Amino acid sequence: MKGKRHIRHIAPLFIVLLWVLIPSCGFITVLFDNDGNSDSNTSYTVIMTYTYNGGQIIDETSPLFFLLIPLNENKEFEDGSFDRAGMGSSISVTGAVTFSNLQKGPYALLWYIDAQLPQGELNAGEVYSFYNRRDLASSFRYPDYIWVDSSFDGFHLDLWDDFSLQGIEVVVPVEGETLHGENLGGSLHRIFVIGFTFDKTIDTIQFHIDGVSKGGFTPGGENPWIFSINMYGEIAGWHNLEVYGMAGGYTVATDFHGFYYTPPS
């Protein structure tokens, strides 16, 4: 696949493994010990209470899953964020989840209803939302967060059916974003598309600009994936990106975004 090997200049934000997406919201209270000690030696407990107000059934076969994900000092996801995340689940429409041994710093919140197998993974079609009820693309790139320390006094959040996960989710570009032609392998006109595949049946991902094919690749299970598109000959201005997830020759998932392109000077 063209472009998949040339990703070193992409910000570390896009190299994290977002394979498991699992959210939560709720009444959040921090119980801390040794308040007089430095935060580097202090751990905190976050109690998250929630009320689910959506239309899905919550039970043993469709539990709520919760993830409290540490961010770096720049309040971004990084490699290892999800490995260090606190996880919880519940089969009640109201309840509380407790996360222990947290360090001082920013944390993202994510919840979803785990209605499909494999359990413990956010799959295509499942209901989810990040903190502040935002979608995957905006929350992954610019996450909202809570700051955990001894002064955090908690609040209540309600859960709604805000988003349903697509089989393909493109996080770069977002709708209306400006992309600049970059140098890659001798070509000065490359742009990068970054996304995730959540429909396990997809065997090919294809890319079009304004209805014209720009190639594709076999995902192979890696998330996130990065694909470069040669924009040579395309004029500055608005263009349409169309991404198709194919299974057995049929389109099973799509994601479309309009973006503004500026060729290299």
3-state secondary structure 120-143: CCCCCCCEEEECCCCCHHHHHHCC
Listed residues 121, 141, 164: the one ending a domain: 164
Last-in-domain residue among 139, 164, 189? 164
| 3-state DSSP assignment of residue 39 | helix
Please count the structural domains in the chain. 2
Residue 15 lies in a domain: no
> Rounded CA gap, 110 and 97, in Å?
13
- Residue 4 covered by a domain: no
Picking from 164, 193, 214, the residue at the C-terminal end of a domain is 164
CB of 238 closer than 8 Å to CB of 216: no
The whole-number pLDDT of residue 151 equals 78
Residues 77 and 183 in one domain: no
Question: What pTM value is reported for the model?
Answer: 0.75
Task: Based on the fold, state whether residues 181 and 149 are members of the same structural domain.
Answer: no
**The domain spanning residue 177 has which CATH number?**
2.60.40.10
| Residues 215 and 130 grouped into a single domain | no
**Tens-digit pLDDT string for the chain (265 aa):** 444 333 333 333 333 333 333 333 333 333 333 344 455 568 888 889 999 999 999 999 999 999 999 999 999 998 788 888 888 999 999 999 988 888 999 999 999 999 988 788 888 999 999 999 989 999 988 999 999 988 776 678 899 999 999 999 999 998 999 999 987 766 788 999 999 999 989 999 999 999 999 999 998 777 889 999 999 999 999 999 999 999 999 999 999 999 999 998 7
pLDDT at 180: 92
* Residues 256 and 180 both lie in one domain: yes
Confirm whether 232 is domain-assigned: yes
CB-based burial, 208-218: b 16+ in 10 Å, e otherwise: bbeeeebebee
Are 81 and 116 in the same domain? yes
DSSP bridge partners of 97: 48
Query: Same domain, yes or no, for 226 and 198?
Result: yes
Would you call 86 helix, strand, or coil by DSSP? strand
Signed CA dihedral, 183, 186, 189, 194: sign only? negative
- The answer to the question of residue 7 being in a domain is no
Same domain, 209 and 232: yes
> What is the domain extent for residue 55?
22-164
Please report the pLDDT score of residue 186 as a whole number: 66
Is 1 inside a domain boundary? no
Residue 21's closest CA among 79, 63, 74, 82? Answer: 82
48 and 149 fall within a common domain: yes
pLDDT of 33 reads 34
